[in-house]
Amino acid sequence: MFNPELFVSESVESLRNEIKGRAVIACSGGVDSTVAAKLVEMAIHDKLMVVFVDTGFMRKNEAQNIEKMFQRMGFNYRIVRAADEFIAMLSGVTDPEQKRKLIGKKFIDVFERIAREFGAEYLVQGTIAPDWIESGGGLRDTIKSHHNVGGLPEQMKLKLVEPLRDLYKDEVRKIARYLGIETAERQPFPGPGLAIRILGEIDKERLEIVRAANAIVEEEVERFYVPEERPWQYFAVLLPIKSVGVHGDKRAYGYTVAVRMVESLDGMTAAYFKARHELLERIANRITTEVNSINRVVYDITNKPPGTIEWE
Ligand code: XMP
């Protein structure tokens, strides 16, 4: 039986011995990076700089909420607001892998600058066992290569510290609960964020549309189901097509949003979530009334394989 209390005390002790200088961590607010940051902070306090890069592709109020959480946790932190830069960079880009590559590269540039300014010698990462264990097909490597700040240690000559390297997600969640970390139960959210939930080209208008629709999906699912009943992931995707609808007594063309909810253990395979129709109807009603220019909501009933969880 995994004992979070014992893990925390042993880990903090060994991190204190291991880390001899300043350290940085890029923290998304997700459970892995937040637990890793907390353990290192408990060991070396303000010698750890916790960095959150706001790419502009985060969910509604996410950057503000993360900053408040960092404050409550007593972190020495930096929030880098780089939304305009990231959005401008993606103008005209439609290929999903190109989006990921550009976002990943800029993220590293921004993070590297801060690490250098802080004089960091150590790089902390929230890597967990499934992130590096061979999965057989190599698919996981492909998935994860997009968002981990891979390559960073070689370029920056930082010593890598991975306090969660041997743990699985449920163990990390146990530590998170034990440490009272607020995002312990948060659903996974991809590093490139909403940028890969807008099919095709990104602009500010579409970003606002998908952000608003996604917030409604999250709110309604979280209202409808208690945490244990919720799907593994639940979100909205903005499709690059318009379809006909009625607005007053006129035909009007509007955007279509796909709602995706899946059950999964680790994201490698997934089953579409058999959501209750009352919930789906509420989501559709709210999105079409509250989000301008959306007149159609569809529910994705594809398993993985053959589909993927994300649409890009
Ligand atoms: P797919 O779409 O490949 O997603 O079935 C599997 C899991 O990985 C997440 N995902 C990503 N996470 N950067 C990330 O950090 C990415 O580029 C990325 N693409 C997919 C996805 O949300 C799901 O949990």
Question: Which residue is closest in CA terms to ligand 1's atom 14?
Answer: 190
Q: Are 100 and 192 in contact (CB under 8 A)?
A: yes
* Closest ligand 1 atom number to CA of residue 307: 5
pLDDT of residue 174: 96
Q: Is 118 helix (H, G, I), strand (E, B) or coil?
A: helix
Q: Are 16 and 24 in contact (CB under 8 A)?
A: no
| Cα of 130 from ligand 1 centre, angstroms | 13
| Cα of 24 from ligand 1 centre, angstroms | 24
pLDDT of residue 164: 97
Cβ atoms within 10 Å, residue 264: 16
Question: Which residue is closest in CA terms to ligand 1's atom 10?
Answer: 190
pLDDT of residue 155: 65
Pocket test for ligand 1, best of 187, 309, 311 (most atoms within 8 A of CB): 309
| Cα of 144 from ligand 1 centre, angstroms | 7
| Cα of 223 from ligand 1 centre, angstroms | 25
Question: Which residue is closest in CA terms to ligand 1's atom 11?
Answer: 190
Nearest of 37, 14, 269 to residue 175 by alpha carbon: 37
pLDDT in tens, the chain (312 residues): 999 999 999 999 999 999 999 999 999 999 999 999 999 999 999 999 999 999 999 999 999 999 999 999 999 999 999 999 999 999 999 999 999 999 999 999 999 999 999 999 999 999 998 877 744 444 444 444 444 444 555 666 899 999 999 999 899 999 999 999 998 888 999 999 999 999 999 999 999 999 999 999 999 999 999 999 999 999 999 999 999 999 888 998 999 999 999 999 888 899 999 999 999 999 999 999 999 899 999 999 999 999 999 999
| Cα of 293 from ligand 1 centre, angstroms | 27
* Closest ligand 1 atom number to CA of residue 191: 15
The conformation of residue 59, written as its DSSP 8-state character, comes to P
| Cα of 224 from ligand 1 centre, angstroms | 25
| pLDDT tens profile 53-92 | 999 999 999 999 999 999 999 999 999 999 999 999 999 9
The mean of the pLDDT values for the chain is 92
* Closest ligand 1 atom number to CA of residue 270: 5
Q: How many CA atoms lie within 13 A of 193 on its CB side?
A: 25
Distance CA 156, CA 18 (A): 19
pLDDT of residue 157: 82
Count H helices and E strands in the chain, helices first. 11, 9
Question: Which residue is closest in CA terms to ligand 1's atom 6?
Answer: 267
Phi/psi for 11 (5° steps) reads -65, -45
pLDDT of residue 267: 87
Nearest of 51, 36, 28 to residue 161 by alpha carbon: 36
Nearest of 207, 184, 174 to residue 86 by alpha carbon: 207
Beta strands (DSSP E) in 99-151 are 122-124
Distance CA 163, CA 129 (A): 11
> pTM of the full predicted structure?
0.90
Pocket test for ligand 1, best of 145, 262, 310, 311 (most atoms within 8 A of CB): 310
Residues touching ligand 1 (Cβ under 6 Å) are 100, 143, 146-147, 188, 190-192, 233, 267, 304, 308-310
